[in-house]
Amino acid sequence: MKSPDKESSPLSGNEEALERMTDPLGNNAFGRPKGNIIIDSAGFGLYRSESKSNIQIKKQVQVGDITDKDYLICPPSVLGFSFKRKDWDAFNVSRITPKEFSQTAFDSLVIDPRRKTIIKSFINQHSPTSGHEDIIDGKGRGIIGIFAGGPSCGRMLTVEAVAEETQKPLYTVTVGELGFAPEHVDNRLRWVLDRTCCWNAILLLNEADVFLQKRSAHDLSRNAMVSSFLRQLEYFKGIMILTTNCVEDCDPAFESMHKHTATLDKFRFSMSV
Nearest to 146 by CA among 265, 255, 264, 266: 255
190 pLDDT band, cuts 50/70/90, is very high
Whole-number pLDDT of residue 204? 95
- Work out the average pLDDT over 100-108: 88
The predicted pLDDT at position 168 comes to 92
Q: What is the pLDDT of residue 21?
A: 44
- Residue 207 vs residue 195, higher pLDDT: 195
Separation CA 255–CA 146 (nearest Å) = 10
Judged on CB neighbours under 10 Å (0-12, 13-18, 19+), 148 is buried
* Alpha carbon separation from 247 to 110, 206, 211, 216, 260 (Å, rounded): 21, 14, 13, 18, 15
What are the pLDDT digits (tens) for 51-103? 355 556 566 677 678 888 887 887 888 888 999 888 888 888 888 888 888 88
Question: Using CA atoms, how far apart are residues 21 and 92, in angstroms rounded to an integer?
Answer: 9
Q: Which residues, other chains included, contact 21 with Cβ-Cβ below 8 Å and sequence gap of 6+?
A: 28, 29, 30, 31, 33, 34, 95
User: In the predicted model, what is the mean pLDDT of the chain?
Assistant: 75
Judge contact between 75 and 12, C-beta under 8 A.
no
Between 14 and 116, the more confident residue is 116
Reported as a single tens digit per residue, the pLDDT across 8-57 is 434 444 556 665 544 444 444 433 346 889 998 888 888 776 435 555 65
104/108 Cα distance (integer angstroms): 6
Average pLDDT over residues 160-170: 91
- Top mean-pLDDT range of 86-95, 195-204, 222-231, 257-266: 195-204
Percent share of the chain, pLDDT over 90: 12
Three-class SS string for the chain?
CCCHHHHHHHHCCCCEEEECCECCCCCECCCCCCEEEEECHHHHHHHCCCCCCCCCCCCCCCHHHCCHHHHHCCCCEEEEEECCCCEEEEEEHHHEEECCCCCCCCCCCCCCHHHHHHHHHHHHCCCCCCCCCCCCCCCCCCEEEEEEECCCCCHHHHHHHHHHHHCCCEEEEEHHHHCCCHHHHHHHHHHHHHHHHHHCCEEEEECCHHHHECCCCCCHHHHHHHHHHHHHHHCCCCEEEEEECCCCCECHHHHCCCCEEEEECCEEEEEEC
Contacts of 107 (CB under 8 A, 6+ apart): none
Q: Among 125-134, 165-174, 225-234, 242-251, name the most confident range.
A: 165-174
